[in-house]
Structure 1
Amino acid sequence: MNNVKRSKILLATFLLAGAVVTLFSFYPKNDKLFSIAKNLDIFASLIRELDSYYVDEIDPDELVTVGINAMLAELDPYTEYIPEEDSDDFRMMTTGEYGGVGAVIGNRLGINMILMPYEGFPAQRAGLRVADELLRVDTVQVVDKNTGEISTLLKGPANTEVEVEVKRGEDTLTFNLTRKKIVISNVPYHGMVDEETGYIKLSDFTTNASTDVIQAVQALKANGATKLILDVRDNPGGILKEAVKIVNIFIPKRREVVKTLGKLESVNATYATELSPIDKDIPLVVMINERSASAAEIVAGALQDYDRAVLVGRKSFGKGLVQSTVPLSYNSQVKLTTAKYYIPSGRCIQAIDYSLKDEEGNGKSVPDSLRIAFKTKNGRTVFDGAGIEPDVEVDSRSFAPITYSLVTRSLIFRFANEFALSCESIPAAREFEVSEELYHEFVEWLQDKEYDYVTRVEKTIEDLERYAEREKYFEEIRDELASLKERVTHSKEQDLITFKEEIKDALKDEIVSRYYYQQGIIEASLDTDAELTKAVEILGDTELYAQILSPKLRE
């Protein structure tokens, strides 16, 4: 750390101490502000004394940041300090915009590589592919760099040049890229599931999320869609006003969507629809899961409260807290929780109470006994305190241990890489299938690869052995356990046959991504997605759809 920066930090600390001392004369000792001022003075004094007396040199910047983060961690996971050097990354998360080459990078198999080029942006247009190993960015060798450092090197002002050297198979290739303003669409895919049903994948709520959804709805209706599916699974949320505008696509104007209530009057607000809807009657299903949060839950919850859509999937995350960004000195910021939000029925779906902590310091879940019942527009009962519960629940897909092993050990990833190097093109994403011949090639390719695993039954027997030994029953049942173990010991060869279809699905997704990128992965999964299949089924049964939304029709 240079002396100039060090001096500035210490000077700021001393000025803070001086300002705090001044505050002492204005507040009585029983005032909360006095307590704040006193503790700030202690903190500033501590940093000063550490700098003067600690046996080794300290980094005041690092120490203060650690202290701030530890303090905020006592509140909730969403309140966080954003130092000046992280401002660009934070802005990218909230706006979906940055200057760069348009590619997700990561480390797989201990190698820094391109994980996904964004279609239509510099990396993809120049010819960079999934699994290209990153060797150099401009003059910097990046083989041993972390992905954060490489990402910083690739980003920069729009219209500036950057040279990237990669290894692809046995070849070393160099690409000259011109950085562009990267605007990541909130709708990575929209298309027709069948002749009548349109599907929209909404992955984020950054700037222009509502515009992206409106354009998708209009395009699908122009293609003949008379029913719609809005998929907000795995959507972490984002800008609240974008959620309101998306609800407005399907709900008439001047209808309350969400209100926020906090400690300060300035954060209390009611957000209502302002425009005429694009379509207030088209049958609609919203798909949610345990990773649908925040703005995604506002959209799903508001549409459920107005009985405007059937919700399919699994209970959502349960984030009913609102964050605001407040500027601090030296271009830093703090994103802090300022309010809770309440959807039209009056419920807050926050699932964790961070004001109550368990022995390990974690917030406590709202117990079922304290959850309050509310009513939708049609009189359906919904509850607060635990996320948004779907109208039709679909269990999450579980995978066999062999499939899990092949994926986590990156064997399917590696096979797809080799396949893509040897095959220039494949059929359209939704039409491509892993043939029996290709699957046989994969099985042969696995012969010298390590992918051992323990099945659930084998794990249960191991647990039984351990408990039997602990409770002194092992000798009595030793022979029975040995016989049982021998009968259920898995055969990898047999598992490759038994679970062939789900392994083929995983292979299909990975291979398709090499040719059709993120859109292709989504499109390729349309026919094997159990939750989507259920959504289409509900939309196809007009009587069932109406009965779900209106309890009177079920009587």
Structure 2
Amino acid sequence: MKKSIKALALAGLVAGGASLAAFKTDDRFFEIARNLDIYATLFRELNMYYVDEVNPNRMVKTSIDAMLKALDPYTNFYAEEEIEDYRTMTTGRYNGIGALVGVRQGKSVVMMIYEGTPAEKSGLRVGDEILKIDGVEVRNRPEDDNTDKLLRGQNGTAVKLTVRRYGEKDLLTIPVTRDVVKMTNVPYFGMINDEVGYIDLKDFTATAAREVRQAVIDLKAKGMKKLILDVRENPGGLLNMAIDISNLFIPKDSEVVTTKGKVQEWNKTYTAMAPPLDLDLPIVVLCNSRSASAAEIVSGVIQDYDRGVLIGQRTYGKGLVQTTRDLSFNTKMKITTAKYYIPSGRCIQAIDYSHRNPDGSVGKIADSLKTAFKTKNGRVVYDGGGVLPDVITEANNPTPIALSLSNKGLIFDYAVKYRHDHPQIKPAREFRLTDAEYQDFVNWLKDKEYDYTTQVEKDIAGLEASAKKEKYFDLIKDQLKALQTKVSHSKEADLMTFKPELKPMLEQEITGHYYLQKGIKESSFNNDPEMKAALDLFKDMNRYQSILKK
């Protein structure tokens, strides 16, 4: 009976007006069929009578996105024209030139170039403004007419870029031959000192485990005795890659993750299938509030087996599994089908994933909403909202002036100028701006437009508004005015006050223009609180071992 009802529901949708009386034998399918019929007739009327022309693809995509958004943030629909982007997201590969192009004030600007790609080999630079692609003007293109799509194409085909470079009078014509661009999961690995190796794991596409394995092997060949695995800002990815990476450091046949959902036959416990790469290597995992999904599985497995120490902030809290389903007309849906549980038995899914702090974190969770679990050594850990590190560090919250300079693109623009004025700089780990060079940055900013309001200024404005509303303003207006005068920010003064924060930001941006992603990472080492905490811990192995004990 149910099969005939489903068939009738589909037929009714196609016909757009069939009788629904037959569906009342099954309330659920009646409701589905009724609402699909309402949707079809509404769309037909809208298309026929709305005052302006309706774009059917855009309208349906908008309605589907709104529907799925009501469920959870991770169930998504991919229209046919988005399938290539979906493949890039899952495989980390695409056919193009290997440059990240962003739009700033209507200009298409090269924001980053990936190492070893056609873009780097062609001589294209970070900061170059792309004016034409194969003769096609790209300035002020419509928002849905993505410049990046013009850069993609079949392997071996050439694309001619017309660019404006800072400090050059004439426009440059740069030919680039497209190729397969592989977005690496490990953009950087290297030795921090004689003993400590470092791996920056930024994604979980199809080659993530192989890249991490090779990085560990290479670092051990260089003398690595201790490992820092960095999954900060890692949004996750493929579940099997999280399993395989965990497998590198835990015994074969150890439980890694269990998935449980509505479809019982899909429920499964995944174990480490291969011999481990190293069971004794001391490990520190760096994580933060934007470490999500697969990154949380790896972090949680390392913690649950007391295999290493986690340092940073509570992770994002995404304990949901998505499955991709093929739909008609070459479209796809990524749908949440299960929750996952790490070896201690806890699910790290945030209790409320619809409300988060501005930095993406889940915030404080009431003790009454958490359940205690135990690691292999008997340490107590909790569910309900991400993985809580063993050593908690304070999150890096940029000051208002730092945010303003970054959002306005002024840090980036000065780095472009610096790259032109200085053909070469020291290696990224050694590069430091002199005080005179920082002052040059301050002077360069004098005629630039940027402003910001500090939190203290906002609080005083809120106090003034409340005082006026509650008729107390006349009593405290003199004190308020004095307070406003005292805390009113001066941009030039703030540039010196917050120099310890702004100078490293500027140094990282500048090194990125010379040494790309690796330069940014190496420049950050000396000003990274989690990195410092990890290195300090590795200097005190008694403390490291004591953290892992009950």
Q: What TM-score results when the alignment is normalised by the length of structure 1?
A: 0.90
Match runs of 1:300-449 below 5 Å: 300-353=299-352, 368-449=367-448
Counterpart of 2:204, as a letter, is F
**Alignment partner, residue 245 of structure 2:** 246
1: CA distance between counterparts of 2:373 and 2:229?
24
Contact 1:351 1:365 in 2 (8 A): no
Once the two structures are TM-superposed, the CA of residue 45 in structure 1 deviates from its matched residue by 3.6
**Alignment partner, residue 191 of structure 1:** 190
Contact 2:106 2:140 in 1 (8 A): no
**Alignment partner, residue 259 of structure 1:** 258
**Alignment partner, residue 36 of structure 1:** 32
Counterpart of 2:432, as a letter, is E
**Alignment partner, residue 460 of structure 1:** 459
Secondary structure of 2:527 counterpart = coil
**Alignment partner, residue 82 of structure 2:** 86
Farther off after superposition, 203-212 or 391-400: 391-400
**Alignment partner, residue 280 of structure 2:** 281
Secondary structure of 2:340 counterpart = strand
Contact 1:20 1:37 in 2 (8 A): no
Which of 56, 60, 64 pairs up with 1:60? 56
**Alignment partner, residue 146 of structure 2:** 149
Secondary structure of 1:165 counterpart = strand
1: CA distance between counterparts of 2:354 and 2:17?
31
Once the two structures are TM-superposed, the CA of residue 103 in structure 1 deviates from its matched residue by 0.7
The answer as to 2:95 corresponding to 1:99 is: yes
Secondary structure of 1:507 counterpart = helix
1: CA distance between counterparts of 2:393 and 2:536?
13
Counterpart of 1:222, as a letter, is A
- Alpha-carbon displacement from aligned partner over 1:202-233 (angstroms, at most 9, x marks no partner): 00000110011011111111111100000000
Counterpart of 2:418, as a letter, is F
2: CA distance between counterparts of 1:303 and 1:467?
50
1: CA distance between counterparts of 2:65 and 2:363?
21
Once the two structures are TM-superposed, the CA of residue 115 in structure 1 deviates from its matched residue by 0.4
Contact 2:348 2:385 in 1 (8 A): yes
Once the two structures are TM-superposed, the CA of residue 198 in structure 1 deviates from its matched residue by 0.6
**Alignment partner, residue 113 of structure 1:** 109
**Structure 2 CA distance for partners of 1:58 and 1:110, relative to 1, 3 Å:** closer
Counterpart of 2:37, as a letter, is D
**Alignment partner, residue 155 of structure 2:** 158
Once the two structures are TM-superposed, the CA of residue 393 in structure 1 deviates from its matched residue by 0.4
Farther off after superposition, 280-289 or 491-500: 491-500
2: CA distance between counterparts of 1:492 and 1:372?
48
2: CA distance between counterparts of 1:238 and 1:59?
33
Secondary structure of 2:25 counterpart = coil
2: CA distance between counterparts of 1:455 and 1:47?
48
Secondary structure of 1:527 counterpart = helix
Once the two structures are TM-superposed, the CA of residue 366 in structure 1 deviates from its matched residue by 7.1
Unaligned runs of 5+ in 2: 1-8, 356-361
Secondary structure of 2:130 counterpart = strand
**Alignment partner, residue 359 of structure 1:** none
**Structure 2 CA distance for partners of 1:31 and 1:467, relative to 1, 3 Å:** closer
Counterpart of 1:93, as a letter, is M
Counterpart of 2:118, as a letter, is P
Secondary structure of 2:451 counterpart = coil
Once the two structures are TM-superposed, the CA of residue 411 in structure 1 deviates from its matched residue by 2.0
Match runs of 1:11-50 below 5 Å: 17-18=13-14, 29-50=25-46
Contact 1:312 1:390 in 2 (8 A): yes
Once the two structures are TM-superposed, the CA of residue 412 in structure 1 deviates from its matched residue by 1.8
Secondary structure of 1:162 counterpart = strand
1: CA distance between counterparts of 2:34 and 2:497?
68
Farther off after superposition, 364-373 or 95-104: 364-373
The answer as to 2:120 corresponding to 1:133 is: no
Once the two structures are TM-superposed, the CA of residue 189 in structure 1 deviates from its matched residue by 0.5
1: CA distance between counterparts of 2:363 and 2:196?
41
**Structure 2 CA distance for partners of 1:399 and 1:51, relative to 1, 3 Å:** closer
Secondary structure of 1:277 counterpart = coil
1: CA distance between counterparts of 2:62 and 2:408?
35
Farther off after superposition, 247-256 or 461-470: 461-470
Number of residue pairs the alignment of both structures matches? 533
Counterpart of 1:88, as a letter, is E
Counterpart of 1:165, as a letter, is T
Q: RMSD in angstroms over aligned alpha carbons?
A: 2.5
Secondary structure of 1:235 counterpart = coil
Contact 1:354 1:364 in 2 (8 A): no
Contact 1:29 1:35 in 2 (8 A): no
Secondary structure of 1:537 counterpart = helix
Farther off after superposition, 124-133 or 405-414: 405-414
Match runs of 1:217-232 below 5 Å: 217-232=216-231
1: CA distance between counterparts of 2:152 and 2:536?
45
- Alpha-carbon displacement from aligned partner over 1:29-71 (angstroms, at most 9, x marks no partner): 2342343233333333443444455555433333332322222
Q: What TM-score results when the alignment is normalised by the length of structure 2?
A: 0.91
2: CA distance between counterparts of 1:329 and 1:318?
33
**Structure 2 CA distance for partners of 1:459 and 1:72, relative to 1, 3 Å:** closer
2: CA distance between counterparts of 1:446 and 1:214?
45
**Alignment partner, residue 165 of structure 2:** 168
Secondary structure of 1:518 counterpart = helix
1: CA distance between counterparts of 2:354 and 2:115?
44
Contact 1:14 1:44 in 2 (8 A): no
Once the two structures are TM-superposed, the CA of residue 14 in structure 1 deviates from its matched residue by 9.1
2: CA distance between counterparts of 1:46 and 1:123?
48
2: CA distance between counterparts of 1:36 and 1:368?
40
2: CA distance between counterparts of 1:355 and 1:115?
31
**Alignment partner, residue 360 of structure 1:** none
Contact 1:78 1:337 in 2 (8 A): yes
Farther off after superposition, 111-120 or 66-75: 66-75
Secondary structure of 1:334 counterpart = strand
Secondary structure of 1:286 counterpart = strand
1: CA distance between counterparts of 2:364 and 2:80?
34
**Structure 2 CA distance for partners of 1:144 and 1:21, relative to 1, 3 Å:** closer
Counterpart of 2:158, as a letter, is E
